[in-house]
Amino acid sequence: MKRILSLVFVLVVAIGMAGCASSSSGDDEVVLGLALPSATHGWMGALIQNAEDQAKALVEDGTIDDYEFTTADNPADQTSNVEDLIAQGVDAIVMLPIESEALSPVGAKVKEEGIPLIIVDRELTNDAATVVVKGDNTGIGINAGEYIVEQLGGSGKVVEIAGPSSSVTNQRSDGFRESIEGTDIEIIASQNGEFSTETSLQVMENILTAQAEIDAVYTQDDGMALGVIQAIKEANRTDIQFVTGAGGAKEVYEIIQEDGLVKATFLYSPLMVIDAVDIGADLANGDEAESAEVVIPATPITQENVDEHYDADAAF
């Protein structure tokens, strides 16, 4: 009997030790997944840095145990990254889709697995997102249109330099068209600048060759605005009265301060990803989302208020 009791005791201890080993193996860790595009331009570079800095801070303060950070150059690679995060069993995923439509199917997979999904900036075409954190893209278009209508007195020829196919581009274009409706503002060209300074420079060079008269240029991104004004200066065009941007880049703020060719931009801060990472951490810990949507206002920035927003030490 003593021998049997001893064996039972040994088994109980062994099972207990196995249980302790299992609970300390990381199975109960709270891990946040991040799936972002590569840093193809300044705004995205700043957003990526903000995201990783915030994730590190949340690990340091004990809000989450760890995070898995991924970037991709194209939708196929980003889809693969998200699938890997699903397979790793992360507790929530923060994703900025490279393309809205292309990333919607893998977003649906995340939802099917019961993993909270926080979408930043560009929305999906389905209802996979638990929370969407974005700037007011329609507001950017509306505010830019209203500014251009006012500055041109309701009549003029305008070029639009848009972004690649996504909810961001569509909303900024739709808002712009909505705000100039009923005026004599004419969009004489609309081209994709790919949210790239270099691409926008090339696109604008072609437009300048094709269009003998342009009054203003609406660009959907500050980086694209920089390419546009370079093309205008190199072509020695004096007919173009001003350019507008979007984002709130330090370099564009400086041009506005100096009364340069960019006269206005509209806030779309890469700091928005900090909210997304914080929300992701909360959901990973089992909290309920306070709202399905967080929208950052598209505040107009002109010479009147640029000094209030300018930060010489800003990353973007």
Residue 144 half-sphere exposure toward CB, CA atoms < 13 A = 37
Task: Please report which residue ranges of the chain form alpha helices under DSSP H.
Answer: 2-23, 42-60, 75-88, 100-112, 137-151, 167-180, 197-210, 222-234, 250-257, 272-284, 306-309
Predicted local confidence at residue 313, as pLDDT: 81
Ranges of residues in the chain whose predicted pLDDT is under 50: 1-26
The reply to whether 262 and 152 lie within a common domain is yes
In a domain, 21, yes or no: no
pLDDT given for residue 21 in this prediction: 34
Q: What is the four-CA torsion angle of 154, 157, 163, 167, rounded to 10 degrees? A: 40
Which pTM value belongs to this model? Answer: 0.74
As given in the structure block, the two tokens for residue 210 are: 């094709």
Predicted pLDDT at 131: 98
The pLDDT, as a whole number, for residue 314 is 78
Q: Output the furthest CA–CA distance in the chain (Å, rounded).
A: 103
Q: Are residues 117 and 150 in the same domain?
A: no
Residue 14 belongs to some domain of the structure: no
pLDDT tens column, 194-246: 999 999 999 999 999 999 999 999 999 999 999 999 999 999 999 999 999 99
Q: Are 116 and 150 members of one domain?
A: no
Residue 25, pLDDT score: 31
Which tokens in the block code for residue 293?
């949507």
The predicted pLDDT at position 207 comes to 98
Q: What pLDDT is attached to residue 18?
A: 39
72 and 170 housed in the same domain: no
What pLDDT, on the 0 to 100 scale, is given for residue 14?
41
pLDDT single digits (tens) 39-68: 877 788 889 999 999 999 999 999 999 999
- The structural domain count of the chain equals 2
Give the CATH number for residue 257: 3.40.50.2300
Domain that holds residue 197: 137-268+303-309
151 and 116 housed in the same domain = no
